[in-house]
Structure 1
Amino acid sequence: MPNFFERLISEFQSPLRYFFEHLISEFQLPLRNPVLLFSLLLFIILLSPIVLRRAQIPAIIGLIISGVIIGPHGLGLIGERTMEDEGSIKLFSTIGLLYIMFMAGLELELNQFKKFLNKSLTFGLLTFAIPIALGYPLCFYVLQLSPLASLLTASMFATHTLVAYPIVSKYGLSKHSSVAITVGGTILTDTAVLIILAIISSATKGNLDFAFWVRLITSLTIFSIIMFFFIPKIARWFFSKLDSEKSSQYIFVLSVVFFAAFLAEVAGVEHIIGAFVAGLVLNRLIPHNSILMNRIEFIGNSLFIPFFLIFVGMVVDYKVFFQGTWPLIIAGVLTSFAIFSKWLAALVTQFIFKMSKIERQIIFGLSTSHAAATLAIIMVGYDEGKGILDINIVNGTVLLILFTCMTASFVTESAGKKLLIQLAESSDIDVNETKLRNKHIMVSMNELKGNEALLEFALLVSDPKVINPVSVVSVYPDNDQAELMIRKSRKSLEDIVKHFSGHETKLNTIATIDHNLSSGIARVSKELVSDIVVLNDSRQMNLLKRIVGDDRAHLLDVCNRTIFFCQMDKPAVSYNKIVLVTPPHSELEPTFGLWAERIIRLGKELSIDIEMFGTQSCLERFQKVGNANKLDFSIHLKEIESTEDFFLHYVKSDANLIVFCSSRAGSVSYEPLIESFGQKIEKACPKNDTIFIYPGMDTENYYSTYQDISANPISAGVETIQKIGREVGNIFKKSEDDESK
């Protein structure tokens, strides 16, 4: 019996010994197993921000420090050979770098960028000229570098990488003027520096001749034509055809980013320029509050960008600074001047444009970090340069990268919090406007099919700061099939939530029963305290409904909310312009600011212009609403005296979204001609998507409270007779047209 147990133990010892020996061999330094390396990096991405959060250290700094610790010059978990090989680490870090630049272009508020274009140009010139003008004599006389090495190192001072950009994005400040100015200036200065890099690289190879300039200009021209002419057309077509395939859209976006980066390298500049251009090109086609945008930000911030930050830390070799004083002097001079030159550029920008101290800190924080282009420049000087730069400059630059990234993160984090507090304290939204903005939208739909565009519209115009801004409601008649329809509706609503699960906005879903659709919508809108009701509106309306009234008229009678009747068949990204028609005195309606804010948000999210057909007073009030809500948008006025003048001035285009602000009977902007305007729009522009807005009535004064008493029976009778007369006239007119044919 003892022999049996001894043999059994020996049988188990062999596999266990093999397992642990194999396990120990896999952990021999440096680690080589790609699966183990990937697991290690994922654990760092997960735990580093959590651990360092208690020490009030920004997550970006934690990732960079983690890279220093596990890198070849730290604990040696990852060797130099693993970093240099074209493997997963280098690939993911490159993707992260391109992702940062792509998101900077994608999140850039184009209307605001145009607004501050001169400021961006000025800052770009300052942040390029000041470091080079002061850095060249510093390198030449103090560090005693050669003229070419001094120019190369000075140009390195001028670059900056938006390492701290995820911080302002997290705080919701990516559309602030100071951020827009910095991002614009970043692209200008980095483009100029990288062109200088291409020139120096060609000069070291002896290829700097007339043919080089011809090749560079020709290549950049071809690159620009492809990116700004062909890619937008292809992307618009792709998004229109595959609107429901969100995963395919994301893969398409990634393909465009890396193809643009590749084309930029072919054109003779660095790939980060191509990634940023890809962001600019897709900016108008990807709404900032869309599911696709949410996926782009989530995957980038969770995976790719942290890989790049860890890789930056791995490059740092801190041991070299203990081998003598000269490397420390070089590193100290380079780091101090790099930070000082960016601070000086931000200070001069502040004085020129009379900006606040916090805005200067935001500009300084975003522009002081050096990483991508800096590494590219130094590596060109060290690898290709025939002795242009020595190892001390390279090591000093790596330390510069570490300290500038840390400085940028701390400054941006601190300034971002201060700016948020300042914006909250200086909010100048009108009290009456705030009273009207309950910020809840109720979408009425009974099934997902055919209503994707409707719900997408509601999500685009919702306020992202509200926790639950949208509710989806299905109302069914109270009959024998009611319970069956409710069960089917709940399944349909679950499909809706699943379909839009990629969007950060949480959707409330309700299935209910009422005597009729209109009464149910009115009742639920009161229960939810919704300020806007959005529903699909059929284009088909027969003669009988037009005379005796349809569901639209009934809903307007029983519901005092602002109602959007939408006829939307196309994806939102296919719109080129919003055509807004406002009757005279529509700005005097009590809920004008409510619906105006939504249309402004739609134009802002889609980065398209609003063309208003209305009065000057309506335009001024419209702009006031946008300014009060701190929304940047572009609007142009074509002044008309009545809604009928719209057809005289409107230039037809199937890519336009037509929005008509109608009015209810008895309101200040109501006129009888308004009721026939919708029919004329349908006939004149049958291929256009349309939205008919009926502003809500003040609850306290809403006439439906007294609906048992007719306030003006004679007027109602006259209006009914006018309806009958118009329909009969249309019948005879149609008969005459048929006979003439």
Structure 2
Amino acid sequence: MLYLRTLTLVLLATAIVGHLSRRMRIPAVVGQLVVGIILGQAVLGWVPNDQFMHIFSEIGVIILMFMAGLESDLALLKKYFVPSLAVAVFGVVLPVGLVFGFGFLFNLSVESSLFLGVTFAATSVSITVEVLKEMNKLDTKEGSTILGAAVIDDILAVLILSVLVSVYGNVGSSSGGTNSILLNLVLQAVYFIGVYVIFKWVAPILMSLGEKLQVPASVVLMSLVMCLGMAYLADLVGLSTVVGSFFAGIAVGQTEYRAEIDHNIIPIGYAVFIPMFFVSIGLNMTFHGFISDLKFTVPLLLLALFTKWFGCGLGARLTGMNFDSASIIGSGMVSRGEMALIVAQVGFQAHLLHADYYSGVIMVIILTTLIAPGMIKSALGRQAKNMTQQSAETTE
């Protein structure tokens, strides 16, 4: 019954720390990440990072991104597709290029340096989504651009990672290669065609059918079937599960049941699963070799923060957004979270990431995830202050 102790500890700790975070006016997600660090292997060691935590955290991030899709304005996502594309491309190219060069400074091989760059090209906007939701800024041009860029970023990162593992990786198998990559590309194209079909016809039919079922909360139940089903199919074709759940949320959000589902899905997510997800990221933190790794982790952390903030911000600026909006978008793409952790694990298993640097890379990923909410809040604060000043100057 160890899982009951884990669940009790995590939920109690996140409830208390979440309350204190709100009182201190810092994003609640920061407190939940810290809970994971304190309860995990880094400090107390009370909560293991086991299969139970993995399953609950995976469901948590799937539900969180489903809610993000549910609350997104499809018209805004379409309107800001070009900025999203520019943000994603620059947000991948800059980290890959500069972190690749950084790897050379530590005498890493070409493939290891390239993989290090790909690791920090990955973006996890689940943290950003939580902060934007908390500050009622998710359904804005900046929020829509971040969400769109995150989907494109995920596709680019998966494609580059597939090529790297196929060309350089050593996972104990000689099968795959170019044919496997081409097959994945075809499957992913079919998946996105399927997403369009679901948008147009399947979602309205399923939700209408759900309303007719003689079971409690049938509409919410059917929406979860779509959410989990599309996440599963995305995983099958080599995409992240959050891509599938995000599109499921958008599809359901176009139906007349959006308000009912939004109201009822919040308790399901925030009562158990979403706190488990944020805590699970903190559980990956360890202070093993902290001092000896500083000469590697400190410059890598600065580079990780700068390349995403500047690269994504540059993409936004080149498509006509002002500095404040570009800064919010750049800050919103800084968090590496679970995406980079997954990429790092894949690379480690494929012998693309040297064991001597693995713990340092994990630490930098966790630190970017901890720092990102503060950067977003600061950028939003500057935007609000500048808008107030401009409004005052206009009325004078």
TM-score (norm 1): 0.49
The one-letter amino acid of 1:279's match is G
Separation in 1, partners of 2:312, 2:44: 38
Could you tell me whether the CA contact under 8 Å between 2:207 and 2:257 is conserved in 1? no
Deviations 1:137-193 (A, max 9, x none): 221x21222222222110112111111211211222112111211211111111110
Deviations 1:572-591 (A, max 9, x none): xxxxxxxxxxxxxxxxxxxx
* 2:241 matches 1:271: yes
Separation in 1, partners of 2:329, 2:252: 25
Q: What is aligned with 1:122?
A: 86
Q: What is aligned with 1:352?
A: 318
Q: What is aligned with 2:148?
A: 184
Deviations 1:231-262 (A, max 9, x none): 75332123224448771121222222222122
Q: Give the one of 226, 246, 251 matched to 1:281.
A: 251
After TM superposition, list the pairs within 5 Å mapping 1:76-225 onto structure 2.
Answer: 76-79=45-48, 83-84=49-50, 86-87=51-52, 89-139=53-103, 141-162=104-125, 163-203=127-167, 204=169, 205-225=173-193
* Residue identity (%): 22
Q: CA deviation at 1:285?
A: 2.2
Deviations 1:519-545 (A, max 9, x none): xxxxxxxxxxxxxxxxxxxxxxxxxxx
Separation in 2, partners of 1:423, 1:175: 18
Could you tell me whether the CA contact under 8 Å between 1:98 and 1:272 is conserved in 2? yes
Separation in 2, partners of 1:378, 1:176: 32
Q: CA deviation at 1:316?
A: 0.2
Deviations 1:67-92 (A, max 9, x none): 1111023111123xxx23x32x2211
Could you tell me whether the CA contact under 8 Å between 1:286 and 1:293 is conserved in 2? no
Q: What is aligned with 1:247?
A: 217
Deviations 1:472-497 (A, max 9, x none): xxxxxxxxxxxxxxxxxxxxxxxxxx
Separation in 2, partners of 1:412, 1:286: 32
Separation in 2, partners of 1:284, 1:239: 11
Using a 3 Å threshold, how does the CA distance of structure 1 residues 313 and 213 change in structure 2: closer, same or farther?
Answer: closer
The one-letter amino acid of 1:66's match is V
The one-letter amino acid of 1:335's match is L
Separation in 1, partners of 2:363, 2:232: 29
Q: CA deviation at 1:225?
A: 3.7
Q: Give the one of 275, 281, 287 matched to 1:306.
A: 275
Q: What is aligned with 1:337?
A: 303
Structure with more relative contact order (C-alpha pairs < 8 Å, separation 6 or more): 2
Q: What is aligned with 2:26?
A: 57
Moved more, 189-198 or 266-275: 266-275
The one-letter amino acid of 1:370's match is R
Deviations 1:198-240 (A, max 9, x none): 2333342433544224421332233234333257533212322
Using a 3 Å threshold, how does the CA distance of structure 1 residues 209 and 160 change in structure 2: closer, same or farther?
Answer: closer
Could you tell me whether the CA contact under 8 Å between 1:49 and 1:59 is conserved in 2? yes
Separation in 2, partners of 1:178, 1:240: 33
After TM superposition, list the pairs within 5 Å mapping 1:306-705 onto structure 2.
Answer: 306-322=275-291, 324=292, 327-383=293-349, 385=350, 387-420=351-384
Could you tell me whether the CA contact under 8 Å between 1:171 and 1:416 is conserved in 2? no
Q: CA deviation at 1:36?
A: 1.9
Separation in 1, partners of 2:61, 2:190: 24
Separation in 2, partners of 1:346, 1:226: 29
Separation in 2, partners of 1:131, 1:247: 45
Separation in 2, partners of 1:168, 1:156: 24
Separation in 2, partners of 1:130, 1:284: 35
Q: What secondary structure sits across from 1:319 in the alignment?
A: coil
Q: What secondary structure sits across from 2:296 in the alignment?
A: helix
Using a 3 Å threshold, how does the CA distance of structure 1 residues 216 and 70 change in structure 2: closer, same or farther?
Answer: same
Separation in 2, partners of 1:200, 1:207: 14
Q: CA deviation at 1:414?
A: 2.8
Deviations 1:658-690 (A, max 9, x none): xxxxxxxxxxxxxxxxxxxxxxxxxxxxxxxxx
Q: CA deviation at 1:426?
A: 6.8
The one-letter amino acid of 2:139's match is K
Deviations 1:415-469 (A, max 9, x none): 33444566677789xxxxxxxxxxxxxxxxxxxxxxxxxxxxxxxxxxxxxxxxx
Using a 3 Å threshold, how does the CA distance of structure 1 residues 266 and 394 change in structure 2: closer, same or farther?
Answer: same
Could you tell me whether the CA contact under 8 Å between 1:365 and 1:408 is conserved in 2? yes
Using a 3 Å threshold, how does the CA distance of structure 1 residues 356 and 219 change in structure 2: closer, same or farther?
Answer: closer
Separation in 2, partners of 1:41, 1:244: 37
* 2:263 matches 1:297: no
Deviations 1:112-132 (A, max 9, x none): 122222111111111111111
Q: What secondary structure sits across from 1:379 in the alignment?
A: helix
Using a 3 Å threshold, how does the CA distance of structure 1 residues 109 and 424 change in structure 2: closer, same or farther?
Answer: farther
Q: What is aligned with 1:238?
A: 206
Gaps of 5+ in 2: none
The one-letter amino acid of 1:41's match is V
Using a 3 Å threshold, how does the CA distance of structure 1 residues 152 and 406 change in structure 2: closer, same or farther?
Answer: same
Using a 3 Å threshold, how does the CA distance of structure 1 residues 165 and 231 change in structure 2: closer, same or farther?
Answer: closer
Separation in 1, partners of 2:207, 2:248: 15
Separation in 1, partners of 2:256, 2:332: 24
Separation in 1, partners of 2:338, 2:220: 25
Using a 3 Å threshold, how does the CA distance of structure 1 residues 192 and 43 change in structure 2: closer, same or farther?
Answer: same
Q: CA deviation at 1:339?
A: 0.2
Which of the two has higher C-alpha Rg? 1
Q: CA deviation at 1:413?
A: 2.0
Separation in 2, partners of 1:142, 1:235: 51
Using a 3 Å threshold, how does the CA distance of structure 1 residues 108 and 358 change in structure 2: closer, same or farther?
Answer: same
TM-score (norm 2): 0.88
Could you tell me whether the CA contact under 8 Å between 1:365 and 1:407 is conserved in 2? no
More strand by share: 1
Using a 3 Å threshold, how does the CA distance of structure 1 residues 224 and 192 change in structure 2: closer, same or farther?
Answer: same
Could you tell me whether the CA contact under 8 Å between 2:211 and 2:218 is conserved in 1? no
The one-letter amino acid of 2:305's match is I
Gaps of 5+ in 1: 1-31, 429-741
